[in-house]
Amino acid sequence: MLELPGVTHRHVEARGMRFHVAEAGAPDAPPVFLTHGWPQHWWTWRHVIEALAPAYRLIAWDLRGLGWSDAPPDGDYTKTAMADDLLAVMDAVGVERAGLIGHDWGAFSGMIACVKAPERFTGLVACSIPHLWPRDRFNPRRLVLLGYQLPVSLPWVGEQMMRRGLAVRLLKAGRARGHWTDEDLRAYADVMRGERAATATVGIYRQFLLKELPGLARGAYAHERLTVPTRLLVGTEDVAVKGSSLAGANADDLEVHWIPGVGHFLPDEEPEHVVQHARELL
């Protein structure tokens, strides 16, 4: 297990699975949940934790099948399932209402959780994702820019790609500012090469491409509204998110902030911006 000063680790039972949670800060401080994306785990938040721990109770948890959390027995890796996991983990650690910071799929599933249960969240800082109401609809060019998604969604093929170091290649390619340390790359690579994470990767992208992406194109959330105050942080060099996918949100209080010169891994590349918006919003 990776260690960070002031961080404790445990597993909690929720929805028939054991979820790993890394906790820091004062138990009686305002709670904030940190939800990572792919191909990462709680270590995504190491810099954010160090900055926010003095003023908040921080709970960084690992998504199903990733990090040190169990894989789902039913093989469900949809973001709706991850949103339900978040609500269940909140219950498991005794938190009724909290702030939320998410990155990548962790931010996307977090936004779904905010739509489903707005009374449970004080605010959302979402990094490196579009919202739930894309105006550009399905665009095959996105699959060209994100060409790994199709092969990695194929059984056996995707698992072999993960075992052969796809995570490290994408981490390097997706970062625009600064460089990964060898320690950080090992922290992700060692876990993502494992059978559980490789299987989770196939499930995440297979179910996204076959079920979730077509649903978004048909307006799956067209009749839903985001009432939780939200800040979308996006790097200008992030190929996964473009301006056309950030217009037209059904939201009461959503601001988009572009971070110059930053790629997809915003909490690693520019944690100061995440911390700043968290302090202002949460």
Q: What is the mean pLDDT of residues 146-166?
A: 91
169-182 residue pLDDT tens: 999 999 999 999 99
Q: HEC profile for 57-105? A: EEEEECCCCCCCCCCCCCCCCCHHHHHHHHHHHHHHCCCCCEEEEEECH
Cα separation of 232 and 226, whole Å? 13
Q: Which domains does the chain have, with CATH numbers?
A: 8-136+221-281 (3.40.50.1820)
Cα separation of 46 and 165, whole Å? 23
Angle between helices 105-116 and 79-92 (to 10 degrees): 70
Rounded to the nearest angstrom, the gap between the alpha carbon of residue 79 and the centroid of all alpha carbons in its chain is 10
81-100 residue pLDDT tens: 999 999 999 999 999 999 99
Per-residue pLDDT for 186 more than 90? yes
> What is the overall mean pLDDT for the chain?
94
Q: Please, are residues 54 and 122 in contact by the beta-carbon 8 Å criterion?
A: no
12-64 residue pLDDT tens: 999 999 999 999 999 999 999 999 999 999 999 999 999 999 999 999 999 99
Give percent of the chain above pLDDT 70: 96
- Beta strands 57-61 and 98-103 are unpaired
